[in-house]
């Protein structure tokens, strides 16, 4: 079945560590997105990529980094510069380069906790 797979489902990070969240899709979609979700805050865009080897900052990119070396993969690294990384992270993809004309497909999320 086609879809988006995020791993791991739960992740624990120590202070000062970098951690990487995986997002893989087999939908052959061009565009991929990372959102952060906090209680009562809705979804906030971290980074997005509309083509391989290219990505753009979203609203809250500070303390995060991404890469897009393959069409199907868009990993997110939460760096030690992110002071409040505890949150639920969602990855999404769409077929085209604009969300207006197609459905966004979401992964099941990764819950990151700082310990």
Partner 1 sequence: AQSVTQPDIHITVSEGASLELRCNYSYGATPYLFWYVQSPGQGLQLLLKYFSGDTLVQGIKGFEAEFKRSQSSFNLRKPSVHWSDAAEYFCAVGATNYGGSQGNLIFGKGTKLSVKP
Q: Which residues bind partner 1 (CB under 8 A)?
A: 4, 6, 31, 33, 35, 40-43, 45, 48, 50, 56-58, 88, 90, 92, 97-101, 103-104, 106-109, 111
Minimum CB separation of residue 31 from partner 1 in Å reads: 7
Q: How far apart are CA 50 and CA 45, in angstroms?
A: 14
Residues paired with 64 in a beta bridge: 78
Q: Which is nearer to partner 1, 8 or 98 (CB)?
A: 98
Q: Which is nearer to partner 1, 48 or 74 (CB)?
A: 48
Residue 62: name the closest of 40, 77, 49, 42 by CA: 77
Q: Which is nearer to partner 1, 49 or 82 (CB)?
A: 49
Q: How far apart are CA 17 and CA 75, in angstroms?
A: 16
- Three-state DSSP class for residue 99: helix
């Amino acid at each position: 079945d086609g879809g988006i797979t995020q791993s791991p489902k739960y992740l624990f990070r120590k202070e000062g560590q970098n951690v990487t969240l995986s997002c893989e899709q087999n939908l052959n979609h061009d565009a991929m997105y990372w959102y952060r979700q906090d209680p009562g805050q809705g979804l906030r865009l971290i980074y997005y990529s509309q083509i391989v080897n290219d990505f753009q900052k979203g609203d809250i990119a500070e303390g995060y980094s991404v890469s897009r070396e393959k069409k199907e993969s868009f990993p997110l690294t939460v760096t030690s510069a992110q002071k409040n990384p505890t949150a639920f992270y969602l990855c999404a993809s769409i077929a085209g380069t604009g969300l207006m004309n197609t459905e966004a497909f979401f992964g099941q999320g990764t819950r990151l906790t700082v310990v």
